[in-house]
Structure 1
């Protein structure tokens, strides 16, 4: 039964009252020794895949920074440390499979990634909705979550029951477990297996991107990432996209990631013929939503929840993203870039997609319109119920004072301040 329209309040955000399932998840890992050694990670990836060649070994330096950064996060509980390590092993195994596929099929390099539509914008600013709405158009290639987690299949595996891809089956099982352990997560950001995900997941194969910041407190990695040119890692991601397009079409991509806001230079140089869409929303609304989601997840992955610390980190991080965007916005080609204001997008979703299509030279056919409208009917806003946010009560943050921090952003873009906070 749909919970659309229902408003929920997380009353125990600062001092969680754990459910039996949450206690079970934490207790199960409480005595587990988590090996964060470089060789331990790579050995497990080799064992999982039966493969040996990781390709160029420059990734090892970044892997070591990842591992050192995670080891330095003393607040990460054993279950959180285990989950991060599992992700890192998965990236290493994915790299092995990708490099193996590329070696066996060098013709993949001839695949063209032509005129993609690429969305950038703050988390919680409409990027996911716009991505999934456009991805409902079957003429476009997108990256479903299950495929992003394991982009290259293990060709030794047989299909699951009913011919289901075993990668999809694993993702469905993990999603069901996640809903049991953290049921309110999907009210804020549903990670259903078939939803369309961010392509920077593919940069994980090169041990790059800002994604590690979302699952651990890793200032060492953040500083390393921000001090290094990311062009090579965008190029690696593009190689993976070529392989995915070679494995199955269509051949025009719809892509999205908030990270692009601070990497517009590498993004444009990697995808010079793309149509670039930037979403914009009141940063205060963005931050209150993102940090509530993160603090809720921290009841599992961290020893204790520290809402003010989460607010401080992500207020600063959002400012970094926005200052980079304001600085570099003019890098984007004027005839192939569009700024999408959140209030305009929410007022008429389909009309905004029509503007995107016009810019991208893509016709809005009756069939495409029908697919988009069907997606909206099946996925109403707040499908599982909406979370009531309280910046001041939960995080000790005054919304008006926080908004003052982003005056430079409001001066650049005609964003509406969402004052009913």
Structure 2
């Protein structure tokens, strides 16, 4: 009878959940050195247990093996669009999907859900950007002032400096919700306020879900729908360097080195044109940021106009590498219930970003538009003096209005950090080389030239 089937199914689900709990206990007892459990909330574990039957029996597209054609079909069905534009992105997406399948970690049910959504949302955004550019071809004629790019190893002050530079009233910066969803919703193209609200709300809800899984990510990287955010999100429409693929990309360093991302950067330029066209903000200088730009300065030089400025932040790698390893550990934690092999995370992080530094050093030597270097310690000690020096280096006007905005932001930021530091007696963000199986000698050997 139906009642018997429901009863049997309930018993089966409870049994599966009990088995998962038992496996977790066994892993805790047999855990080896440099293997740590994912730091996810109890709520996230409950969601994983609830989704486990769906994952086990592959119920729904999110829990079946990911295929490029399947993702394209799903995105087209949701948007009712089929034109993905130039085909360069196909190779990048297929390669990223291969990395997901070859990943050394078994994805949790929640991880599968996040991974599917990450890929599908990038394809959906791509379809809608191409559609809006087709409907408004004049957007591609929108002139852009030479922008400024903030780059450097992650955890070297790039986010803080990006926020400071974005406070200038003469500057335009990409907000998180804009980068996730650059195209206007067709239904609200004639209602900018409602359109922005809908797109912003969607991203805000997604951020809440991420914080519900790994709340400690806020101590590592400030996330907010209206905050200045990294270009990587929009470039993800061509090259899906996203949370679920980034650790895997880092382990395939040689292949990534061979990629020419000029097309991806050209499409990013068009996306910035579209965003400026939407808000008639072409008279403002874009302030852009992404640590990954470090390895692709050559693409910036090819695509962006003469006069584009580059600011490179620097910090002792013995401080930035373990902090960065902690960030990538968090990315893995969002997608798996397996123990994280933190020594592998440390080694991969060190080798990958050492190569990015070398590429940046090679490329910056041929830069003729203008670049400047910022030391992390000086930025933290006296941020306003650092910003003033940059404006002097680049010949930009530093106004009293802007200085007041800087003073207010720095005071508020300091207050927030102090509150977080003493919340529940925990520090803002703890990390060390030893946690990741690294030593100062190993780091210095890898980046001795830097």
Structure 2 length-normalised TM: 0.81
For residues 16-72 of structure 1, the C-alpha deviation after alignment (integer angstroms, 9 at most, x for no partner) is 575421312322443332341111101111122121111122322222111112111
Match of 1:269 in 2: 302
Which stretch has the larger CA shift, 111-120 or 27-36? 27-36
Measure how far apart 1:254 and its partner are. Answer: 0.3
For residues 204-252 of structure 1, the C-alpha deviation after alignment (integer angstroms, 9 at most, x for no partner) is 11236x5467644246865443212222221111011111111115331
Which of 329, 332, 335 in structure 2 is aligned with 1:298? Answer: 332
Match of 1:49 in 2: 79
Tell me, what secondary structure is at the counterpart of 2:172? coil
| C-alpha spacing 1:364/1:76, structure 2 compared with 1 (3 Å) | farther
Residue 63 (1) aligns with residue 96 (2): no
Partners of 2:39 and 2:151 lie apart in 1 by: 36
Measure how far apart 1:165 and its partner are. Answer: 1.2
Match of 1:242 in 2: 273
Tell me, what secondary structure is at the counterpart of 1:250? coil
Tell me, what secondary structure is at the counterpart of 2:187? coil
Unaligned ranges ≥5, structure 1 = 1-11, 410-421
Measure how far apart 1:382 and its partner are. Answer: 3.2
Match of 1:278 in 2: 312
Tell me, what secondary structure is at the counterpart of 2:429? strand
Partners of 1:250 and 1:265 lie apart in 2 by: 27
Which of 377, 386, 391 in structure 1 is aligned with 2:433? Answer: 391
| C-alpha spacing 1:373/1:76, structure 2 compared with 1 (3 Å) | farther
Partners of 1:249 and 1:276 lie apart in 2 by: 25
Which of 117, 125, 130 in structure 1 is aligned with 2:156? Answer: 125
Report the structure number with the largest CA radius of gyration.
Answer: 2
Contact 2:85 2:130 in 1 (8 A): yes
Unaligned ranges ≥5, structure 2 = 1-33, 56-62, 422-427
Residue 26 (1) aligns with residue 48 (2): yes
Measure how far apart 1:164 and its partner are. Answer: 5.9
Which stretch has the larger CA shift, 282-291 or 164-173? 164-173
Partners of 2:75 and 2:194 lie apart in 1 by: 28
| C-alpha spacing 1:215/1:157, structure 2 compared with 1 (3 Å) | farther
Tell me, what secondary structure is at the counterpart of 2:307? coil
Which stretch has the larger CA shift, 152-161 or 400-409? 152-161
Tell me, what secondary structure is at the counterpart of 1:156? helix
What are the residue-to-residue correspondences of 1:9-408 with 2, within 5 Å? 14-16=36-38, 19-30=41-52, 31-32=54-55, 33-78=63-108, 79-156=110-187, 165-207=197-239, 210-211=241-242, 215-218=246-249, 222-251=253-282, 252-271=285-304, 272-302=306-336, 303-333=338-368, 336-380=370-414, 382=417, 384-385=420-421, 386-392=428-434, 394-408=435-449
| C-alpha spacing 1:163/1:16, structure 2 compared with 1 (3 Å) | closer
Contact 1:91 1:205 in 2 (8 A): yes
| C-alpha spacing 1:370/1:289, structure 2 compared with 1 (3 Å) | same
| C-alpha spacing 1:192/1:395, structure 2 compared with 1 (3 Å) | same
Which stretch has the larger CA shift, 155-164 or 285-294? 155-164
Measure how far apart 1:110 and its partner are. Answer: 1.0
Q: Tell me how many residue pairs correspond in the alignment.
A: 395
RMSD: 2.5
Structure 1 length-normalised TM: 0.87
Measure how far apart 1:266 and its partner are. Answer: 1.3
Contact 2:347 2:438 in 1 (8 A): no
Measure how far apart 1:15 and its partner are. Answer: 3.2
Measure how far apart 1:351 and its partner are. Answer: 1.0
